[in-house]
């Protein structure tokens, strides 16, 4: 098959001739030829417009970047059609002219065809910050997990469109070999990879998210050590009875009567209290920003829960101290501080000789105690604002001590 000869044959021959006859000469010797080529391509009518100047500037920038990653002095001329080309990893990249070749080389090394997970992670992070509704805290956690689990991994340096399902499977087998990761840690890693790949699909960098084709049941995980137990019924009552009428003491007492995240507790308004019911509609994050959305961004997050008689009494005590505020736990313009909340709780536990667990464990504790005393898991799911029952079961830890278990076994088994 006869190929059409490049219309830029003369310029191509000149460029290759200069490089071949004097390969040690600086590329600046090509300026005259390249300038003539730019005129033919960017402003053939001879009018150097703003658009033409911009096109030349962009070309020069791309040429400079390409020079950093490959040796342009190895450019050759194809004899049959006078196309100019360069061999990259045993494959020719060619064009009818030098400018077109630079464009192709730039796309190869820096364009979408060369985008790696490492590079696209930053794009995804920027998208998360500007286009999604995730919090700054979540974005920071994403960065931490990337640095801990994926940064500098070989798979993150391979162009995304070159990765196949088998490449991901091979990588997952390596990192789960000998049960090096817990399932939770692995899922954190997978979540970040999924986010990157789905955005890459959306932006047409790749056609398909390969992770969707993998059976993750084939991987083995390290057993999770979980020695943290929720507060028992007895410990809960001891703490409630020991606490005084300090603003933070009252906050802890109320939290022991609800199943809220600490940010949801901070976000409560007086208008959310309707008789013997309280509505959870927002939370305040670690930067004291009010988020009119609940963790998970699902409809289950915004919910209501009953207020017991004791909870209502605690609220009345708080109102006496903070009646002028729109928010129950924003006093003098300052939201409840998680650190101070936990400091009060820890001091109380030390005085009682009880093992201290942080504010998040109050949510564990109240849910577990209600479950132990007969509340259905599906009802608890609604109170907790969970999207799945599996998530709720994570909270429903056994409150039976080892001694009680041993006693029951002796009674049953003899």
User: Tens digit of pLDDT for each residue in 21-45?
Assistant: 765 555 566 788 888 888 889 999 9
CA dihedral (48, 52, 54, 59) in degrees, to 10, reads: -120
The single residue listed with the structure tokens 């009345």 is: 316
Question: At how many degrees (to 10) do helices 136-145 and 183-202 cross?
Answer: 110
The single residue listed with the structure tokens 């995980």 is: 221
Which stretch of 1-15, 38-52, 324-338, 387-401 has the lowest confidence by average pLDDT? 387-401
Strand 273-274 relative to strand 277-280, pairing = antiparallel
Over residues 218-236, the mean pLDDT reads 83
Task: Check: CB of residue 356 under 8 Å from CB of residue 228.
Answer: no
- Range(s) of the chain covered by CATH 1.10.150: 117-218
Please report which helix (H) or strand (E) contains residue 306, including its range: strand 303-306
Q: DSSP of 74-142, one letter per residue?
A: G-EE-TTT--EEEEETTEEEEESSHHHHHHHHHHHHHSGGG-BHHHHHHHHHHHHHHHS---HHHHHHH
CA 77 – CA 101 distance, rounded (Å):
12
Over residues 342-346, the mean pLDDT reads 96
Which stretch of 73-82, 106-115, 175-184, 308-317 has the lowest confidence by average pLDDT? 106-115
| pLDDT tens by residue, 250-274 | 999 999 999 999 999 999 999 999 9
CA 249 – CA 243 distance, rounded (Å):
6
**What pLDDT, on a 0 to 100 scale, did the predictor assign at position 24?**
59
| pLDDT tens by residue, 377-404 | 899 889 888 888 888 887 676 555 666 6
CATH number of 117-218: 1.10.150
CATH number of 233-404: 1.10.443.10
Q: What are phi and psi of 209, to 5 degrees?
A: -85, 105
Q: What is the largest CA-CA distance in the chain?
A: 102
CA 171 – CA 156 distance, rounded (Å):
10
State yes or no: pLDDT of 366 exceeds 50.
yes
| pLDDT tens by residue, 150-189 | 999 999 999 998 899 999 999 999 999 888 899 989 999 9
State yes or no: pLDDT of 294 exceeds 80.
no
Average pLDDT score, the chain: 87
**What pLDDT, on a 0 to 100 scale, did the predictor assign at position 333?**
87
DSSP three-state, residue 269: strand
State yes or no: pLDDT of 354 exceeds 50.
yes
Kindly report each contact of residues 403-407 with a partner whose C-beta sits within 8 Å and lies 24 or more positions away, as own/partner. none
Task: Check: CB of residue 115 under 8 Å from CB of residue 163.
Answer: no
Over residues 64-86, the mean pLDDT reads 90
| pLDDT tens by residue, 232-250 | 999 999 999 999 999 999 9
- Range(s) of the chain covered by CATH 1.10.443.10: 233-404
Over residues 356-383, the mean pLDDT reads 89
Q: How far is CA 177 from CA 145, 170, 182, in A?
A: 20, 11, 11
State yes or no: pLDDT of 411 exceeds 90.
no
Over residues 50-71, the mean pLDDT reads 90
**What pLDDT, on a 0 to 100 scale, did the predictor assign at position 297?**
47
CB atoms within 10 A of CB 268: 26
This prediction has a pTM of 0.58
């Amino acid at each position: 098959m006869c190929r059409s000869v490049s219309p830029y044959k003369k310029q191509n021959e000149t460029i290759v001739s200069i490089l071949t006859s004097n390969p040690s000469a600086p590329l600046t010797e090509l300026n005259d030829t390249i300038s003539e080529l730019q005129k033919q391509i960017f402003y053939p009518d001879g009018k150097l417009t703003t658009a033409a100047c911009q096109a030349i500037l962009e070309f020069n920038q791309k040429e400079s970047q390409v020079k950093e990653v490959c040796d342009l002095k190895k450019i050759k001329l194809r004899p049959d059609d006078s196309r100019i080309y360069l061999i990259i990893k045993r494959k020719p990249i060619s064009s009818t002219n030098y400018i077109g070749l630079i464009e192709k080389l730039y796309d190869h090394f820096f364009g979408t065809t060369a985008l790696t997970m490492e590079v696209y992670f930053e794009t995804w992070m920027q998208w998360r910050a500007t286009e999604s509704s995730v919090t700054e805290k979540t974005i920071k956690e994403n960065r931490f997990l990337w640095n801990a689990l994926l940064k500098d991994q070989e798979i993150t340096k391979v162009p995304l469109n070159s990765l196949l399902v088998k490449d991901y499977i091979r990588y997952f087998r390596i990192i789960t070999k000998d049960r090096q990761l817990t399932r939770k840690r692995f899922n954190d890693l997978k979540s970040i990879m999924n986010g990157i790949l789905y955005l890459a699909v959306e932006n047409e960098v790749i056609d398909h998210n390969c992770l969707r084709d993998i059976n993750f049941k084939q991987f083995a995980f390290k057993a999770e050590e979980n020695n943290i137990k929720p507060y028992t019924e007895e410990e809960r009552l001891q703490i409630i009875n020991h606490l005084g009428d300090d603003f933070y003491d009252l906050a802890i007492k109320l939290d022991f009567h609800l199943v809220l995240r600490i940010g949801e507790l901070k976000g409560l308004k007086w208008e959310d209290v309707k008789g013997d019911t309280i509505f959870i509609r927002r939370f305040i994050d670690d930067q004291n920003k009010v988020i009119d959305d609940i963790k998970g961004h699902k409809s289950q997050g915004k919910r209501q829960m009953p207020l017991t008689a004791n909870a209502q009494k605690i609220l009345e005590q708080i109102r006496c101290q903070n009646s002028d505020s729109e928010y129950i736990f924003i006093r003098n313009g300052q939201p409840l501080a998680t650190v101070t909340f936990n400091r009060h709780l820890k001091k109380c536990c030390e005085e009682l000789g009880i093992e201290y667990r942080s504010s998040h464990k109050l949510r564990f504790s109240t849910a577990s105690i209600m479950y132990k005393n007969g509340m259905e898991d599906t009802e608890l799911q609604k109170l907790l604002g969970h999207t799945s029952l599996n998530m709720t079961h994570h909270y429903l830890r056994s409150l039976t001590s080892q001694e009680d278990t041993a006693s029951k076994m002796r009674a049953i088994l003899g």
